[in-house]
Amino acid sequence: MPYLWIVYGIYFIIKLYIKRFKLEYLRKKMNKEETDLYIANEVRGLAKSLVKATGSRVNVVGAENIPEGSCVFVGNHQGNFDILVMLGYLNKSMGFIAKKELEKLPGVNYWMKQIHCVFMDREDSRDSVRSILEGIENLKNGYSMAIYPEGTRSQGSHMLEFKKGAMKLATKAGVPIVPVTINGTYKIFEIHKGKKTKAADVDVIISKPIYTKELSKEEQNNLSEYVKSIIEENLKSLK
């Protein structure tokens, strides 16, 4: 199994570069809206193909709750496949607040930049502020963002504490927050200690948007706890 994934990984990286060259060629012939749509469809297809390669099944509930315009998807973080599930199975393009190390991944880094991911050095408070400001600018320009306030993978069905500063991305930009509950992704990879992947049933619940412009100052201060409570309740319903 590890050998097969190494072969598939090499094939996938080559595929990323081929698609990159194709995009650069087509970009000259498309306007901004056409380019954004093309990129969104390509990334959605790539993400879905990786999830399907594990044999996993994804069930999404609440897709009708995704609002028009830009928003911030706030999700719990069980495993590495959370990102691929959200990119592949939520019918909306989004960039991620991602750790700085991902910017060095060959092939992958190019496509992350195309969907407006923001790379953050979590050890540098000044860089964290810069990242949030860049994310806010993306939102104001019409690009949705996704963030995992736990900051790292829980590697199980439980949740870690939410970092309060994560909600500023939405409140400062004045866009809705969409809580996203993910359950089962850790069973694909993390539960096997990174030695193999295995098919799993993954559930995704998209809750109703929280319109940050309508919140009082006190509600904004308690926003992190409120969003976490929504996701926790959904996780309980899935057990």
- CA 71 to chain centroid, in Å, comes to 12
Distance from C-alpha of 223 to C-alpha of 162, rounded to nearest angstrom: 10
- The mean pLDDT of 124-129, rounded to a whole number, is 84
Report whether pLDDT(95) > 60: yes
Report whether pLDDT(217) > 70: yes
> Model confidence at 54, in pLDDT bands (50, 70, 90)?
very high
Closest CA to 74 of 231, 186, 180, 215: 180
Closest CA to 48 of 96, 10, 81, 4: 81
* Per-range mean pLDDT, top range of 1-10, 192-201, 220-229: 220-229
The side-by-side arrangement of strands in the sheet containing 57-61 is 57-61, 201-206, 177-183, 72-75, 145-147, 95-99, 118-120
Distance from C-alpha of 115 to C-alpha of 113, rounded to nearest angstrom: 5
User: For the chain, what is the domain count?
Assistant: 1
The two structure tokens encoding residue 156 = 């199980």
Report whether pLDDT(165) > 90: no
> Model confidence at 37, in pLDDT bands (50, 70, 90)?
very high
Q: Which domain holds residue 210?
A: 2-238
The percent of residues in the chain predicted with pLDDT above 70, rounded, is: 97
pLDDT at 4: 67
pLDDT at 1: 53
Residue count of the chain: 239
> Model confidence at 147, in pLDDT bands (50, 70, 90)?
very high
What is the reported pTM?
0.93
Residue 216's domain is classified under what CATH number? 3.40.1130.10
- The mean pLDDT of 51-66, rounded to a whole number, is 96
pLDDT at 104: 86
- Asked if residues 136 and 172 have their Cβ atoms less than 8 Å apart, the reply is yes
pLDDT at 65: 98
The two structure tokens encoding residue 111 = 């496509």
pLDDT at 41: 97
Helix (H, G, I), strand (E, B) or coil at 30: coil
Place of tokens 């970009």: 27
User: What average pLDDT does the chain have?
Assistant: 92
Report whether pLDDT(9) > 90: no
